[in-house]
Structure 1
Amino acid sequence: MRSVGSMEMETDRNGKREIEDDGEELHDELEWAKRIPPWTRQITLRGVIASFVIGGIYSIIAMKLNLTTGMTPNLNVSAALLGYIFMHVWTKMLQKFGIVTVPFTRQENTMIQTCAVACYGIAVGGGFGSYLLGLNKKTYELAGVDAVGNSVESYKEPGIGWMVGFLFVVCFVGLFVLIPLRKILIIDYKLTFPSGMATAVLINGFHNQGEKMARKQLRGFVKYFSFSFLWGFFQWFYTGKEECGFAHFPTFGLQALKNTFYFDFSMTYVGTGMICPYIVNISTLLGAVLSWGVMWPLIGNLKGEWFPTNLSESDMKGLNGYKVFLSISLLLGDGLYNFVKILCITFLSIHGRLKQKNLNLAVGNQDKSLDDERKNEFFIRESIPMWVGTTGYIFFTLVSVIAIPFIFPEVKWYYVIVAYIFAPSLAFCNAYGAGLTDINMAYNYGKVGLFALAALAGREHGVVAGLAGCGLLKSVINVSCILMQDFKTGHLTLTSPRAMLLSQAIGTAIGCVVSPLSFFLFYKAFDVGNPNGEYKAPYALIYRNLAILGVQGFSMLPRHCLQLCCGFFAFAVGVNLVKDFSPPKVGKWLPLPMAMAVPFLVGAYFAIDLCVGSLIVFVWHKLNSKKAEQMVPVVASGLICGEGLWTLPASVLSLAKINPPMCMKFLDS
């Protein structure tokens, strides 16, 4: 039996042990807090410079993709990778010269990624390949000058001044609209925001994996960047005239070339295919086969029966009308289905969480890990005052009410007020849906604004009001969603929300200037909007025709086009229903109607490029899965950035009237 004295001794030891454990935990907490730099030091001058360079490069790349196919992959992860490589090279070079630098932290990496994504996000979502370009004279002519509502007064030529002003007004509103709800979306509802989470995992991995992997990835990026850039330079010599060079190589024969089935040796699209999921690339190929392989040749043979023989290729009453409106029906069917689906998921999830919150009030937070508690505590501690969001939203709303009717007289000031009354609730629904599904539906909310304002403004001003109204809603909702994704990245990398908001604001400001400049680089150097050229900008014509449809109704469609449109709309909804309600083994192989719609207008060649990218990834995973997982994002980024950067000198040479010396072309024997 133990004596009372020995029991007292044991109690003392236990008490001392508890004190020691508490002391260790307190020490860990203090060390953890010391390792995180204050938010004012998370934003650095070198980080802003790196963001400007990366954002500028990606703006050019995104602009090229916008004006060729209209498809732009998610480059968040690639931007984080490029930011890490940029800063890694920067610090190593300074160390070689004996200059001591501040350590490169994950917080600074997150800030660079946020700023760069905000910058190139303006090029992606700013409407340069869709609603803004849809206002120009060439698109007005392609839509049919005799179409009701498509009047001479309904076009507005692009200009740097009004574009920069419009973007500054509508994009900055989006920064403030969801600030008061960030805690609800990130912490209370624990939304995943898959793209934001993937970026955070990558950044945390970069700063934990050591020097060896960093050097390996850097060498891989430089190697494939150089190859892609030099390949673009080499191809340029053979493109002396239209339809010359490797971009028109008859890979499958001359007849297939006429129907746009060929491999155009574009490293940008091959790299994009390496990033995009397999099902996206397979869906584009299926859409290309269905349209250019089957439907257009069959409908083309009905010339004289379904449409007159004397129409030009670009006339909306001829074959081009079927191309445009069938692609629109697929886009609307897929978009409307996902719109309703995500709204239902959003409301059901919110209702479920509210009920669960009432049931779990007494449970407490015992199930939370120490790591989660630290992240939540830091995210809440680095709060953004409520008045910042409210004041910013009201201020930029007032600026919009004054400025937008000045830029677009067709958009009345009360249209703007009504749009911004509904914008916060729409932005919340979109951000919540993106947090659950990783699908940013801003373009669909933009189409709602397009149809509403086009119908409201009437035949005389409906087209311009609809296109401008589309940008009004889409920009606010898109920017707010991107900010929430970046808040998720910041939450997981222990980056201050204040630093994230300021980084987003800096990136948005840079993007509002850089994106129009990137656009004009292409607009002045190349034949943008030519349906038979390289820079088709397919969505410009689609959006203008959507506005005309909102004004005019179905009377503008060619013969039998309405029946075909209904069939494709039903197909898009049906495929999505089967995909959602069938077993995952079946559903994962069903095509994506939105991806199928793009080749209907653009052609089959880029679908082949994307599938080549998928094939490379598939074979690489079969040979060495671990290496592929580490290097695929690096190689894809190098290929995209190399050829994307070559676009800059190619544009300068074109503006300087320096033409390639040769034309490589293939003719029938």
Structure 2
Amino acid sequence: MESDRDVRHPVTRRDASEHATYPVEADVYDTRRGNLELNDGEPFEHHNGKIVPDKNMDGSKEALANLPEAEGAEAGFADTPVPAWKDQITVRSMVVSVILGVVFSIITHRLSLTVGVIPSLNVPAGLLGFFLIKSWVTIMNKLGIFTKPFTRQENTVIQTTVVSCYGLSFSGGFGSYLLGMTDFAYNQVGAEYSGNTVQDIKNPDLGWIYAFIFTVSLLGIFVLVPLRKIMIIDYKLIYPSGTATAVLINSFHTPSGEKVAKKQVRCLGKYFTISFAWSFFKWFFSGVGNSCGFDGFPSLGLKALENRFNFDFNLTYIGAGMICPHIVNCSVMFGAIVSWGIMWPLIQNNEGTWYPAGLKPNQDFRGLFGYKVFISIAIILGDGLYNFSKVTFISLRGIYIQHKNKQTLPTSAKEDDDIILYDEKRRNENFMKDAIPLWVAVVGYTGLAIISIIVVPHIFPSLKWYFVLVAYMIAPLFAFCNAYGCGLTDWNLASNYGKLLLFGFAAWAGGGGGGILAGLAACGVMMSIVSTASDLMQDFKTGYLTLSSPRSMFVAQLIGGVMGCIIAPATFWLYWTAFDIGNQDGIYKAPSAVIYRTMALIGVEGFGALPSHCLQLCAAWFAFAIVVNLIRDQVPKKYSRFIPIPMAMAIPFYIGAYFAIDMFIGTCINFIWERSNRKKADTFSAAVASGLICGDGLWTIPTAVLNFAKVDPPLCMSFFRARDPTIFSP
């Protein structure tokens, strides 16, 4: 799903009494945690000086109930000394972070280049980090080598580093705005559109990609550092994803939690093996053509296959369906039925009237392909505009209420001592102990901004130096708004801020060549800063609740960012050189690339590129997205949970229904499992899903090696109608 803003995903937490996992819906951003602009998490309100759920928002009561703010949560760790911040960052934690960073970067690229749906991988990152270090300690002890005990602070550092690393595989634009610059995106849009010029083509090359990623991806780490106390301690922002991750890590380091974690790792390993073996088996039948293999299996009939309705036996998407909330998967399925089952066949009936006959359905914007792309964009923009306005309003209201309550709170030290719990006092003291000097943030942001202003215009000449300067002047404001809104609602709107610059800078640069590249590059500049800043504040919240030093969180985020700048382009290059990226009839369609380029084209040329009647349809679906979101927010939860999410609906409009069927099967498996054994499902569903995703994702490596060695699958499994005269002789 085009998780631009970041996908909403279930984040796992543990109940201190039962040590079972429960899903807490959270927004993964285009999010570091994902590639789907979905929101099924809920905003929170301020009451009597505390942040509580907005009763009108789905799931908020449940989300707050699962947050670990009860008195005494730190009692179990009272006798455990907190290591110094330098001791929280160890050589072994960095080795494990590199390994997991590579693994999850490969998986993230595969998902972003196929359907754009990226579920959260922070749970398996924390789980595997715990398992690998525990195994390390056990082996060393058996060899008689003393090693430091594994602490929750070190576990938090691994989690932060890994997520920061693989997050750049998404926010770096390798499946979206960077690929929107390529010749295949140019060719799919079509040379007949005056704004789509050859001057706006820039194909991937490791040299300029590394230069661009390094100069724009690290600034966000510095921009909000001075506000960490305000956001975490003064405003007490919840950051549900960061909170849920902290509860997960805290539970790992209790005796019963460790036992459950080991069982989860075994479960993950089992389904990893099954998924990897199944992918290996499918490879033998995939031949060398686009119609070979299980991807083209007509599970619902050949006619349905022509409209991309088929179950393709892809365990990655089944796993993603098990992780994503039920409403997300059902919304995707509903969108697939509405588009490929109803709309596109009806529009095809007007071939020759609405658009010229004989055009390629998956390549020519003058035909059906144009309707698919532009209507998808209309839904994405409608949903994005609504949620952008909503979160901005909630954030401004929250800031006002915080300011108002500050003036009415008691000021007596004795009164403060009476109302501050032991947990909060201990966390506050630890959080303020290792201050990050202000000069580090100022020098870091200013220095990297100057370097970027010099380097980026050399990479993209149409993005003038003053364009980049303007972007960096407004970036701190956007970063604060996004981080504050994310703290209240768990919605990371980084891609929405990126799209603002995409449209604005594309129009500013204008047509005549260069405008599209300028818009896409500006989108990347803003998206990277705003996303990384929000991610760091989430990590500060996790560190606050696990008594991890803010310095160790800052350094871990910085190390993870540098790792990501190295690993993300390298793992992307594996795909770019080994597979046919952008082939709309192949596996790696890179769906977001064409969407982002088309958005930039609209910024340059307006709506002149739309085929007949497409503008009216786009306006209708744009309004539909806003109205449906309004209804979802106004009706009670018992009804709103059955109302589809427009953003989730939009993804299959362009890509097809095949992955929607896979994800729907995943959600059905989870639904049945929850009904038959809720506790077991809560504990192991995320591990099963992660194993399915990781096994199929890592099969990419041997596949790429075989492609480099020019070893083709031995068989081609394909299907035809019985007695097809082109296949069978009389």
TM-score after normalising by structure 1: 0.94
* Number of the residue aligned with 1:324: 373
Q: Are 1:449 and 2:449 an aligned pair?
A: no
Between the aligned partners of 2:134 and 2:719, the Cα distance in structure 1 is 46
Q: Secondary structure at the match of 1:359?
A: coil
Q: Secondary structure at the match of 2:467?
A: helix
Q: Which one of 517, 528, 542 corresponds to residue 489 of structure 1?
A: 542
Between the aligned partners of 1:467 and 1:212, the Cα distance in structure 2 is 48
Q: Give the partner amino acid of 1:207.
A: H
Max radius of gyration: which structure?
A: 1
* Number of the residue aligned with 2:442: 390
Q: Which one of 251, 267, 274 corresponds to residue 299 of structure 2?
A: 251
* Number of the residue aligned with 1:236: 283
Q: CA deviation at 1:640?
A: 1.0
Cα offsets for 1:569-590 (capped at 9, x unmatched) = 0000000000111111111211
Between the aligned partners of 2:300 and 2:510, the Cα distance in structure 1 is 49
* Number of the residue aligned with 1:651: 704
Cα offsets for 1:574-622 (capped at 9, x unmatched) = 0000011111111121111111111011111111111111111111111
Q: Provide the alpha-carbon RMSD of the alignment.
A: 1.4
Asked whether the 8 Å contact 1:107–1:493 carries over to 2, the reply is yes
Q: Secondary structure at the match of 1:591?
A: coil
Residue 551 and residue 578 in structure 1: after superposition, are their counterparts in 2 closer, same or farther (change >3 A)? Answer: same
Q: Give the partner amino acid of 1:360.
A: L
**Runs of 4+ with >4 A deviation:** 31-34
* Number of the residue aligned with 1:270: 318
Asked whether the 8 Å contact 2:127–2:261 carries over to 1, the reply is no
Cα offsets for 1:123-174 (capped at 9, x unmatched) = 0111111110000111111111121221111100101111111111111111
Structure 2 stretches lacking a partner, 5+ long: 1-73, 723-730
Between the aligned partners of 2:663 and 2:133, the Cα distance in structure 1 is 30
Aligned length: 641
* Number of the residue aligned with 2:350: 302
Q: Give the partner amino acid of 1:227.
A: I
Q: Are 1:190 and 2:259 an aligned pair?
A: no
Cα offsets for 1:410-456 (capped at 9, x unmatched) = 11111111111100010000011111111110000000000110010
Q: Which one of 322, 342, 359 corresponds to residue 391 of structure 2?
A: 342
Asked whether the 8 Å contact 2:392–2:481 carries over to 1, the reply is yes
Q: Are 1:480 and 2:530 an aligned pair?
A: no
Between the aligned partners of 2:462 and 2:561, the Cα distance in structure 1 is 26
Q: Which one of 650, 657, 664 corresponds to residue 604 of structure 1?
A: 657
* Number of the residue aligned with 1:418: 470
* Number of the residue aligned with 1:226: 273
Q: Give the partner amino acid of 2:307.
A: N
* Number of the residue aligned with 1:404: 456
Q: CA deviation at 1:355?
A: 0.4
* Number of the residue aligned with 1:133: 179
Asked whether the 8 Å contact 2:127–2:265 carries over to 1, the reply is no
Q: Secondary structure at the match of 2:217?
A: helix
Q: Which one of 332, 335, 338 corresponds to residue 290 of structure 1?
A: 338
* Number of the residue aligned with 1:36: 82
Q: Which one of 450, 455, 462 corresponds to residue 515 of structure 2?
A: 462
* Number of the residue aligned with 1:80: 126
Between the aligned partners of 1:219 and 1:419, the Cα distance in structure 2 is 47
Asked whether the 8 Å contact 2:285–2:294 carries over to 1, the reply is yes
More helix by share: 1
* Number of the residue aligned with 1:216: 263
Q: Secondary structure at the match of 2:328?
A: helix
Q: Secondary structure at the match of 2:510?
A: helix
Between the aligned partners of 2:323 and 2:702, the Cα distance in structure 1 is 26
Q: CA deviation at 1:96?
A: 3.1
Residue 40 and residue 657 in structure 1: after superposition, are their counterparts in 2 closer, same or farther (change >3 A)? Answer: same
* Number of the residue aligned with 1:14: none
Cα offsets for 1:319-341 (capped at 9, x unmatched) = 00000000000000000000000
Q: CA deviation at 1:33?
A: 8.2
Asked whether the 8 Å contact 1:271–1:613 carries over to 2, the reply is yes
Asked whether the 8 Å contact 1:150–1:548 carries over to 2, the reply is yes
Between the aligned partners of 1:101 and 1:230, the Cα distance in structure 2 is 36
Q: CA deviation at 1:32?
A: 4.4
Q: CA deviation at 1:230?
A: 1.0
Q: Give the partner amino acid of 1:623.
A: S
Of 141-150 and 315-324, more deviation after overlay is shown by 141-150
Cα offsets for 1:38-77 (capped at 9, x unmatched) = 0000001110010011111000000001000111112222
Of 157-166 and 326-335, more deviation after overlay is shown by 157-166
Q: Are 1:436 and 2:483 an aligned pair?
A: no
Cα offsets for 1:235-285 (capped at 9, x unmatched) = 111111222222222111111111111111111111111111111101100
Cα offsets for 1:73-125 (capped at 9, x unmatched) = 12222211121122222222333333332111111110001000011000011
Structure 1 stretches lacking a partner, 5+ long: 1-27
Between the aligned partners of 2:280 and 2:597, the Cα distance in structure 1 is 35
Q: Secondary structure at the match of 2:267?
A: helix
Q: CA deviation at 1:532?
A: 1.8
Q: Secondary structure at the match of 1:489?
A: helix
Between the aligned partners of 1:668 and 1:89, the Cα distance in structure 2 is 54
Asked whether the 8 Å contact 2:240–2:487 carries over to 1, the reply is yes
Between the aligned partners of 1:299 and 1:34, the Cα distance in structure 2 is 66
Q: CA deviation at 1:34?
A: 6.3
Q: Give the partner amino acid of 1:458.
A: G
The equivalences for 1:93-172 within 5 A come to 93-172=139-218
Q: Which one of 629, 638, 641 corresponds to residue 585 of structure 1?
A: 638
Between the aligned partners of 2:685 and 2:509, the Cα distance in structure 1 is 49
Asked whether the 8 Å contact 2:540–2:553 carries over to 1, the reply is yes
Asked whether the 8 Å contact 1:135–1:157 carries over to 2, the reply is yes
Between the aligned partners of 1:623 and 1:556, the Cα distance in structure 2 is 52
Between the aligned partners of 2:245 and 2:251, the Cα distance in structure 1 is 10
* Number of the residue aligned with 1:12: none
Q: CA deviation at 1:554?
A: 0.9
Q: Give the partner amino acid of 2:326.
A: Y
Between the aligned partners of 1:436 and 1:458, the Cα distance in structure 2 is 37
* Number of the residue aligned with 1:548: 601
* Number of the residue aligned with 1:358: 407
**Which structure ranks higher in relative contact order (CA pairs < 8 Å, sequence separation ≥ 6)?**
1
Q: Percent identity?
A: 52
Between the aligned partners of 1:157 and 1:355, the Cα distance in structure 2 is 52
Asked whether the 8 Å contact 1:148–1:548 carries over to 2, the reply is no
Between the aligned partners of 1:42 and 1:237, the Cα distance in structure 2 is 46
Q: Give the partner amino acid of 1:373.
A: K
* Number of the residue aligned with 1:64: 110
Between the aligned partners of 1:570 and 1:560, the Cα distance in structure 2 is 16
* Number of the residue aligned with 1:381: 433
Between the aligned partners of 1:215 and 1:511, the Cα distance in structure 2 is 28
The equivalences for 1:170-181 within 5 A come to 170-181=216-227
The equivalences for 1:604-623 within 5 A come to 604-623=657-676
